[in-house]
Amino acid sequence: MKKSIICIALMAIISQMANAQLIINIRYSGENGNARKYVEEMENSGIAARIRAIEGCVRYDYFFPAEDPEGLLLIDEWADQEALNRYHSSPVMKEAAALREKYKLGGRQIRRFYPESPMAAPGSQPAQPVVGAIDIHSHMIPESYLKAVKKHGMEMDEKYPIPSWSAEEHLKFMDEAGIQTAVLTMPAPQPFFGKAAEASDVCRKFNEDAAALKAMYPGRFLFCAALPLPDVKAAIEEAKYALEVLGADGVKLATNSYGQYLGDEDLEPLMAYLNSRKAVIITHPHKPSAVNDKLISSVPLASYEYLAETTRAILNMVAHDVLVRYPDLKVVVPHCGSFLPNALPRFKSLMPVMVAQGYMRPVDVDANLSRLYFDLAGAATDDAIESLLTITEPSHILYGSDYPYVAAPALIGAKKALEGRLGSHGLDPNSIFAGNVAQLFGSDVLTN
């Protein structure tokens, strides 16, 4: 009898799913009954009802797996991508996310199902490319920076040639690619050659040139300031000048500055100041502090070490609870999250053992993770996007090109291909290419 009832229920669910365009299954885990408490508050507060009332919402229901008393399964279905986009851009989604953080629900696993539409062939491109895109990941390489790097023989320190760059060529690429605004940052290597004063001069010149370029082309360029780390005192002084005088839109931080990794306690005063400014921080991988030079001459840093380096630095920030202790920081992680989707589950599983033996303090991994944003620069394959969606929300995914480190024609082709593939992952191209970055910086910043 029970088997018959279960079969009938499953057939009903399958029948309902067959009529839906987008089906999303999200599994969470909690502790001390928090998953059930979360559902109770979602229902009693009316948040769940408001989500169900969104036009195009077919289903929004919770289930508790029998084999996992602390688990929770959410099944939501949407009539079409436009309906899902309405939910992603609604205030109620942020309320639900805040409630999940309140009850410390973690272990999120997402599975998306997209019934094929007879109206669109697989791999088809949209009728019109996305225009007005905002590129969160691009580099400015002025002559002053190149001169300083070459003076110290460090132009191949990253084992990859620094490309040529000009504002005119950058704008040409942007126009051809349909990019309205590019966020400029200093590339690697970090310009510290042993003397703090010299590093400060190089960063000051870079920031002033970037500010002048932003003023010269209103709406086309933003910039995140370069800081002369590892000298923390000088970095704070430059951050204040860049943010409060030059009008910088954030700061760029290397994953490590000659062994000083993000999350290092020496950086606490800088993080406190940046938090007081509610700063956007764009992170970027640099050469690891200890690396086999022979190895990276054969296997380029960008192919593996950059991904490992980014993962290493972000996990160090999480391990030191930086983003919970400084909740107003907005940190952008490059290259599709690097190895974080694979590393985070291992980190979570190892942390209780380390804490129990006194090697670590307990940290709220998911709360830290919720403060991170991720750009799609690099190889944004379908697998990479799906993997990234297991650790972040669609509203925290941003477009990035990595110009000029990749040739303009290749980037233009990659952008067009990405436009055509985002919908198959339940992502709205207009949000990924523009809307999410606009929310990160504030729309007023983009119009100034």
Q: Please state which of the four CATH numbers 3.40.50.10470, 3.30.70.100, 3.30.470.10, 3.40.1280.10 is assigned to the domain occupying 17-113.
A: 3.30.70.100
Residue carrying the six token digits 């300031």 = 225
* Element housing 278 (H / E): none
Give me the pLDDT at residue 93, please.
85
Encode pLDDT of 300-355 as tens digits: 677 778 888 999 999 999 999 999 999 999 999 999 999 999 999 889 889 899 99
Please, which residues bridge with residue 253 across strands? 283
Encode pLDDT of 88-142 as tens digits: 778 888 898 889 888 988 766 666 665 443 333 344 444 456 779 999 999 999 9
For residues 70 and 233, give the distance between their C-alpha atoms in angstroms, rounded to a whole number.
Answer: 46
Peptide bond into 230 cis (omega under 30): yes
Angle between helical axes of 81-88 and 91-102 (0-180°, round to 10): 60
Nearest to 370 by CA among 326, 323, 337, 338: 323
CATH classification of 133-447 is 3.40.50.300, yes or no? no
Domain boundaries, the chain: 17-113, 133-447
Contacts of 180 (CB under 8 A, 6+ apart): 131, 132, 133, 134, 174, 219, 220, 434
Give me the pLDDT at residue 333, please.
98
For residues 400 and 340, give the distance between their C-alpha atoms in angstroms, rounded to a whole number.
Answer: 18
Give me the pLDDT at residue 123, please.
43
For residues 83 and 56, give the distance between their C-alpha atoms in angstroms, rounded to a whole number.
Answer: 5
Please, which residues bridge with residue 62 across strands? 74
Q: Report pTM.
A: 0.76
51-84 burial: b if 16+ Cβ within 10 Å, else e: beebebbbebebeeeeeeebbbbbbbbbeebebb
Nearest to 208 by CA among 223, 218, 220: 223
User: Per-residue confidence of the chain (448 residues) as pLDDT tens digits?
Assistant: 444 443 444 344 434 444 446 788 788 888 899 989 999 999 999 999 999 999 988 899 988 887 788 888 888 888 877 788 788 778 888 898 889 888 988 766 666 665 443 333 344 444 456 779 999 999 999 999 999 999 999 888 777 889 999 999 999 999 999 999 999 999 999 999 888 899 999 999 999 999 999 999 999 999 999 999 999 999 999 999 999 999 999 999 999 999 999 999 999 999 999 999 999 999 998 887 776 666 556 666 777 788 889 999 999 999 999 999 999 999 999 999 999 999 998 898 898 999 999 988 999 999 999 999 999 998 899 999 999 999 999 999 999 999 999 999 999 999 999 999 998 888 999 999 999 999 999 866 665 5
